[in-house]
Amino acid sequence: MIAIVDYQMGNLRSVQKGFERVGHAAAITSDPRVLEQADRVVLPGVGAFADAIAEIRRRELIEPIRTAIASGKPFLGICLGLQMLFDVSYEDGEHEGLGVIAGEVRRFDVPAEYKVPHMGWNHVKQCRPAPIFQDIADDAHFYFVHSYYVVPQDVSVIAGEASYPEPFCAAIWRDNLFATQFHPEKSQAAGLQLLKNFAEF
């Protein structure tokens, strides 16, 4: 069973429907016991970093999320769910993340002709053959909407990059841990293939 972490921020139903479209049931839950029993866990997210971390802490989900990752079960972070895996975010101040991946979350500093947030379709260059990219063309388009991006200390965790206009980390992979800055559930065929790859990893 795939568990989608419910902390009242994010398009949970869209993620659930994405998995259903590729033939895999997924349950939306904030119950730590369900997360523990799940075969796979997904941490989605839309909104502000500080609000999201505060809500996860309020629901006592910090340790269940860390434990799920440490257990070796497949784990997928999406958008804000990627950013929260890092040590610290500088969105509206300085806020501590889950500390699963060493690094930080920074705001785009781009030329005037580039708008922030970075919103819409962009190419993702695959840096290494991550299992979630199986049967997905290199430089495939995925859908993004974000003003901040992650900067891992260890660049070897980067699985995919996009450019805006400079390259930034668009996906990470370390053992059982996967996370994307883009929204696979909004990315049509390539995104659905990624969800299928994760569900069958």
pLDDT, tens only, 35-59: 999 999 999 988 899 999 999 999 9
When pLDDT is averaged across residues 57-70 and rounded to a whole number, the result is 96
pLDDT class of 9 with cuts at 50, 70, 90:
confident
* pLDDT for residue 105: 98
- Comparing CA positions, the residue from 38, 35, 47 lying closest to residue 8 is 47
Would you tell me the crossing angle of helices 12-21 and 188-199 to the nearest 10 degrees?
80
Closest by Cα among 10, 84, 71 to 36: 71
Instruction: From the candidates 95, 141, 146, 183, give the one annotated as an active-site residue.
Output: 183
Compute the CA torsion angle 127, 141, 40, 49 (nearest 10 deg). Answer: 90
What pLDDT sits at residue 10?
78
Q: Tens of pLDDT along 104-156?
A: 999 999 999 999 999 999 999 999 999 999 999 999 999 999 999 999 999 99
Residue 183 annotated as catalytic: yes
**Cis check: omega of the bond before 165, within 30 degrees of 0:** yes
The pair of three-digit structure tokens given for residue 44, joined into one six-digit string: 């989605």
Q: What pLDDT, in 10s, does the model give residues 91-100?
A: 999 999 999 9
Catalytic member of 20, 36, 79, 169: 79
Q: Which of 91, 141, 169, 185 is catalytic?
A: 185
The band of 8, judged by pLDDT with boundaries at 50, 70 and 90, is confident
The pLDDT, as a whole number, for residue 11 is: 82
Q: Would residue 141 show up in a list of annotated catalytic residues for this protein?
A: no
Task: For residue range 144-200, list pLDDT tens digits in order.
Answer: 999 999 999 999 999 999 999 999 999 999 999 999 999 999 999 999 999 999 999
Is 79 catalytic? The answer is yes
Q: How far apart are CA 99 and CA 95, in angstroms?
A: 11
What is the three-class DSSP state of 21? helix
Q: What is the pLDDT of residue 35?
A: 96
Q: Are 141 and 121 a contacting pair, CB within 8 Å?
A: yes
Which fold does the domain 2-199 belong to in CATH? Answer: Rossmann fold (3.40.50)
Q: Distance (Å, rounded) from C-alpha 151 to C-alpha 185?
A: 23
Q: Give the pLDDT score at 53.
A: 96
